[in-house]
Structure 1
């Protein structure tokens, strides 16, 4: 396989060392190391991305726009092969080759506030450079991915069809999320009233989707662009809130460790707004704090819905895995809500008006 794919790019198989790379959970990635240049080879997971050509077409459109309007911006897109194709089909698999960015590293969790700042700044710059891009040119690679109204509908359907044992096990969590449905109501109102502009959105702003300089820690660029599609900026900010604020991730069973680090909130705000502050409308800026509530609530719903549906979507390692994940995210949301006054005070002390 590797020999044929490399040959299509004019690369000699014997000149490179190939090894698995990274900690991504969706696609399969290998590092291709050579004497002069290194690359990343990636196979798209078609169980998740049903139309991989949509990803390829989106990236080509974005590349074309950035080459014209921001030629100096580092946009890590697939390289063309000898036939000028940026995606290769081999044995019904879809593959791309990317340049490997030298002197770069990625992190699996946020340890320091500066990491959150650097990542948020990179995602903010990504959004800023594509502010004028016509989102009608993009295809949806994951339809309704961050549609909270749909997630609520799926949750209610699960409540009607779940087996009694799981309903009983999750009774407290069902009540808690039901009592927080005002978050979904506000989301629906924002969309219906046009308070949020449709933008080019990354949709997966975890810390490991940003490359940092391996010596200075400075942000270099955004990577993993398969979920880039039309959306609202609260998705990207909200996902940073969900995954950067607590030192514990969504798999943590000890919920006392699921606590918001308020300094991380301000680091996200400062980094993102330094880049996107002038591009966002006043009504968009007003939803900055809401973005965290929106994303954490939605993920809690998704985990609990999957538990009620007998675990048909997320991989589980034990019977209550999705329920534990839901409890984890509910605890994160509680911590977030209890910190809202602190967030607002941070803005006031720094003369930031939202």
Structure 2
């Protein structure tokens, strides 16, 4: 999103348009992100606009990040956690006409990938997300606020699907008949979630573990740190690991319409599990370890429900480029879910082998 950055935002951080160069960067669809280069030193920063249509309580985001940063600084001072910088007035955000902005340090010699091209990248990314959760194992997640209410609440998402189905016009329901049937048939995943959710401990989770939210060394692709901390809030481990499964295991995104291409890359799965368990294997409970593969079903099913619900509602949430795109996205995710189910025994064997390394 192209936004004009008012001079007051720049001044809030001690800069002017005369001593700073601004360049829009990033591939995210929610917040606007800009690279600021200070002149003549060439010191770099990342300036980000917080989309209050999605994040209705930006102060909760700022407070969460500040609380976590304080804990990490005290307990793990060498860990790289790129928390936002304070304004010249000591605020953790700058504001202008109801808009909220934050400035973060730029991490040199790193890259944020849009797509994975090797199992090593999956390993390093999963390891970084796991490391953040492990370091925060001693932090009381109750000190954090939910920045998006019900974000990964499968009960809520299924209720939204039922409401969308009840209110959808006949043409939409007819067009999506097979996907509606599949979504209902997979309701056992919701039932499994209800059975285990209260025995899984609350942890500080990232909740958006796609590959572009971790920085890798631009040459070696070794993991450096986790970024995009808007959804850092209390949750279950199945949120982070499940989102990695959803976004790492298939070569193609949810926008792919040749559904024959939606397959699981077992070598990426093995690398992701190994990287995550390298960090988290020693602190996961027995019930959490038993739910590792379920995490993929949980998140993929939830995303399929969200796409299908939005289609039935007339595509009012996810941006589309053609009328049936959200239906196609739902088909895509249902195919990915079926692939996970069909290969469950093989994937569980991979998990068991990785778990043996951390016992």
TM-score when normalising by structure 2 = 0.95
Write the distance in 2 (CA, Å) between the matches of 1:165 and 1:351: 48
Which of 305, 316, 319 lines up with 1:315 in the alignment? Answer: 319
Q: How big is the shift at 1:68?
A: 1.2
Q: How big is the shift at 1:8?
A: 1.8
Query: Given that residues 273 and 351 in structure 2 are in contact (C-alpha distance below 8 angstroms), is that contact kept between their aligned partners in structure 1?
Result: no
Q: How big is the shift at 1:347?
A: 3.7
Deviations 1:300-348 (A, max 9, x none): 0110011111112111111101100000001111111111111122245
Task: Give the RMSD, CA atoms, in angstroms.
Answer: 1.3
- State how 1:280-295 maps to structure 2 within 5 Å: 280-295=284-299
Query: Given that residues 22 and 34 in structure 2 are in contact (C-alpha distance below 8 angstroms), is that contact kept between their aligned partners in structure 1?
Result: yes
Match of 1:181 in 2: 187
Write the distance in 2 (CA, Å) between the matches of 1:114 and 1:296: 23
Write the distance in 1 (CA, Å) between the matches of 2:328 and 2:62: 36
Q: How big is the shift at 1:44?
A: 0.3
Q: How big is the shift at 1:136?
A: 1.3
Q: Which runs of 5 or more structure 2 residues have no equivalent in the other structure?
A: none
Which of 323, 337, 342 lines up with 2:341 in the alignment? Answer: 337
- State how 1:5-84 maps to structure 2 within 5 Å: 5-34=9-38, 35-84=41-90
C-alpha distance 64-153 of structure 1, shift in aligned 2 (>3 A): same
Q: How big is the shift at 1:15?
A: 2.0
Query: Given that residues 277 and 354 in structure 2 are in contact (C-alpha distance below 8 angstroms), is that contact kept between their aligned partners in structure 1?
Result: no
SS in 1 for 2:293: helix
Deviations 1:231-258 (A, max 9, x none): 0000000000000000010000111111
Query: Given that residues 253 and 324 in structure 1 are in contact (C-alpha distance below 8 angstroms), is that contact kept between their aligned partners in structure 2?
Result: yes
Which of 298, 301, 304 lines up with 2:308 in the alignment? Answer: 304
Write the distance in 2 (CA, Å) between the matches of 1:350 and 1:229: 27
Structure 1 residue 214 corresponds to structure 2 residue 251: no
Which of 260, 266, 270 lines up with 1:262 in the alignment? Answer: 266
Query: Given that residues 121 and 271 in structure 1 are in contact (C-alpha distance below 8 angstroms), is that contact kept between their aligned partners in structure 2?
Result: yes
The number of residue pairs the alignment matches comes to 352
Write the distance in 2 (CA, Å) between the matches of 1:7 and 1:292: 45
Q: Once superposed, which parts of structure 1, at least 4 consecutive aligned residues long, lie more than 2 Å away?
A: 1-4, 344-354
Structure 1 residue 97 corresponds to structure 2 residue 92: no
C-alpha distance 102-181 of structure 1, shift in aligned 2 (>3 A): same
SS in 1 for 2:90: coil
- State how 1:117-156 maps to structure 2 within 5 Å: 117-156=123-162
Write the distance in 2 (CA, Å) between the matches of 1:333 and 1:347: 18
Write the distance in 1 (CA, Å) between the matches of 2:51 and 2:355: 46
Query: Given that residues 274 and 354 in structure 2 are in contact (C-alpha distance below 8 angstroms), is that contact kept between their aligned partners in structure 1?
Result: no
Query: Given that residues 199 and 233 in structure 1 are in contact (C-alpha distance below 8 angstroms), is that contact kept between their aligned partners in structure 2?
Result: yes
C-alpha distance 216-2 of structure 1, shift in aligned 2 (>3 A): farther
341-350 or 86-95, which deviates more: 341-350
SS in 1 for 2:36: strand
Which of 275, 278, 282 lines up with 2:282 in the alignment? Answer: 278
Deviations 1:171-226 (A, max 9, x none): 001111111110010001112xx320000010000000000001111000000000
Deviations 1:270-306 (A, max 9, x none): 0011001111101111100000000000000110011
Q: How big is the shift at 1:67?
A: 1.3
Match of 1:88 in 2: 94
Write the distance in 2 (CA, Å) between the matches of 1:157 and 1:348: 39
SS in 1 for 2:47: strand
Q: How big is the shift at 1:2?
A: 4.4
Which of 188, 197, 202 lines up with 1:198 in the alignment? Answer: 202
Write the distance in 2 (CA, Å) between the matches of 1:219 and 1:114: 10
Write the distance in 1 (CA, Å) between the matches of 2:69 and 2:299: 28
Structure 1 residue 113 corresponds to structure 2 residue 123: no
Query: Given that residues 2 and 13 in structure 1 are in contact (C-alpha distance below 8 angstroms), is that contact kept between their aligned partners in structure 2?
Result: no
